[in-house]
Structure 1
Amino acid sequence: MQDRPPVTVLRLGHRPGRDERMTTHVGLTARALGADRVVLANDGASRRDTIEDITDRFGGPFAVEETERPIDRIEAFDGVVVHLTMYGLPVQDVEAEIRDAHETDPVLVVVGAEKVPWDVYEHAEYNVGVTNQPHSEVASLAVFLDRLFEGAELDREWEDAERRVVPQEAGKRVDET
């Protein structure tokens, strides 16, 4: 992918016992589909370790951070804040505008967990829905990032990878590099 301002994904909240895998998958999806970092709210130690382990083994760069006050990160962000919600504007209606803004400005993609505070809706430049039907936040993140990067993230080259998945028609193959 070409040089561009960074994309950060902020995972808002975490419901213990319910979101363990979901929060990890938000981070892994962010990494795999072109974001530069994920910020996890609350205590994300085990999720952080998993995401960093995947980055170490399959390449980067990709950063994992934690925050106790996600709303502070949103308020202080100097760039375009995109909140993914099924109540937002259709992604197909705003994706070109967001992509144009991303040519010069970093993007913060906010992904919810528990009920999202109204402050998030108010601070976002864009409240975006990939569908107005109930769905997974991981699915909305994947669709949004693919539309933001117009598929270019699928051809990304990974640095310092210890392992590499080799695409093939049938079977599984992972090479050590």
Structure 2
Amino acid sequence: MRLLVLYLRSRQVAAGAVGGIACVVVLGVLAGDSDSFRLLLGIFGLVAVTSVTAVGLAGQDPALERTAALDWRWRRATHVVAIGGLTVLLGVVAGPPVATEIVVRDGIGLTGLAALGVTVLGSGLAWCVPMAWTVVAVGARMANEPPAAPLVTWLLQPTGTAAASLAAGVLGITGLLVYSLRGPRTQ
């Protein structure tokens, strides 16, 4: 139990969870009557949760984890799954009213993007990857770009869109596997 408490402290889990809750609650309160505006705020709430909690995917010294005698792969995988679970839970419970299928799909995909961000850019810039994808998706949707619409704008697709679910699933699984096996980027 003591190791779990030390791990949670070193990864700033409490601060990330409180920050994520605050973001989702504020965006949930701001949601109006427009379904499209609620969807945008819901997605940005999910992005906020994954971005705030992704900072904890790397400890204070990522190089130390690589040299440790402990196998970190299962800890990393558990941490990513926990972030995905928290993201979906907060999106469903406290976020703007959006279809649960969309929240689950987008939560999985955004968590995978955040895990990829930690692996490629490090924990300080991990938030850039899910945020950049969201901004590009919203921009493409506003510009009515049809060519890669389901794959680029999977965040904004309606429920039952197979391409959106596939894109989110691939991103979620890829992020989980790459981060679990590789770990956070060392400076």
TM-score bucket (shorter structure): under 0.3
TM-score scaled by structure 1? 0.26
Kindly indicate which of the two structures has a greater share of residues assigned to helix.
Answer: 2
